[in-house]
Amino acid sequence: MGEVVYFTQRAIGKGNVKAWVYKGDCPKCGKSKMGKPVDEKTGKVKVRAKEYVCPRCGYTVEKKAYEETLKCDVKYTCPSCGSTDEASVPFKRKKFEGMDAIVFLCSRCKTKIPITKKMKEKGEPEDE
């Protein structure tokens, strides 16, 4: 789990989704994977950090800008047609029925399948 930025496994209707996003290389030095900053006092990763840092060269990039450069790999069973497949989509949340979600299409029936944040229901206001 140390090499991923995001991982989730969900049931969506009659289908299910498993999605993960691998950490990307540093855009400056290219020799290390970007990660959240580490607190110098405790040695623990800052969970709610607003930026990612290269541990080798110290290059810093804003969280949203960095995450939009990554790819989300998905294994899914479509809730509409029941087919099982894999997809790779940009790790960028879009509005889907009022919620922020990573949205991809079923390769067989072209149904939009959303991966929403945990515990979000349709019509519930989005936190920022």
Q: What is the pTM of this model?
A: 0.77
Q: Among 71, 88, 68, 82, which Cα is nearest to 111's?
A: 82
What does the pLDDT look like over 60-85, one tens digit per residue? Answer: 999 988 988 999 999 999 988 889 99
Q: What is the mean pLDDT of the chain?
A: 86
Q: How confident is the model at residue 124 (pLDDT cuts 50, 70, 90)?
A: low
The neighbour count for residue 58, using CB atoms within 10 Å, is 11
Q: Which pLDDT does position 20 carry in this prediction?
A: 94
